[in-house]
Amino acid sequence: MKNLLTLVLLLPIIVSAQKVVFPTDSVTNLVSYSFTAQVPETAQNILFNRAKNWFDQENKSGQLLSVQEREEAGLLSSKKNLIRKYSYNTTDTIPIAYQIEFTVRLIAQNNIYKIILTDYSTKTTILDITSVAPIEEVFSLNRQKKTRSTLPNKDEQETLRIRNDLAKFVDESSKDCISKLKTAMAQ
């Protein structure tokens, strides 16, 4: 019974300690989501126009910044912007805003299209202080894991909860972006 009680008390810490595993590029070791599909008997200009329509819709909603296109190469590229806000509960409530930017590239050539999401960075604003860092640094993806001999204190638990939630948000938003682009390319 005592072990069961201990497990129940530690469950929130164990659950919050689970990390999102971001896909990484094998060459650069940076976060990179990608999807490639063959679209038989579909001309490059049709694929390009489908992608352009999706980019235009996203641009109207204000989520894309500076769309670049090279129709002859079948390439569309833009920065996508996501914002997530938290309230960090310590003795005072401290507002934190994370602005996530990443590059969305779509290449349509030879009956194939490839979606690549890369160049992730975060802009963190706590109170009136802003810092910018690559996402790999924010989530310590390129560092050795540190072992911990004691349980995290309350502030560390809150930080861990926020980081895990932000990681899930980035992962789910990236997968959603690819899913929507796949749907647009299939029409």
pLDDT at residue 144 greater than cutoff 50? no
Q: What is the CA radius of gyration of the chain?
A: 20
Strand, helix or coil for residue 97: strand
Check: CATH 3.30.530.80 for 22-186? yes
pLDDT at residue 9 greater than cutoff 60? no
Lowest mean pLDDT: which of 8-12, 79-83, 107-111, 161-165? 8-12
pLDDT in tens, 76-129: 999 998 888 887 665 556 778 888 999 999 998 888 899 999 999 888 887 777
Determine the pLDDT at residue 157.
Answer: 78
Determine the pLDDT at residue 126.
Answer: 77
Rounded to an integer, the average pLDDT of 68-82 is 91
Rounded to an integer, the average pLDDT of 67-83 is 90
Provide the 10 A C-beta neighbour count for residue 125: 15
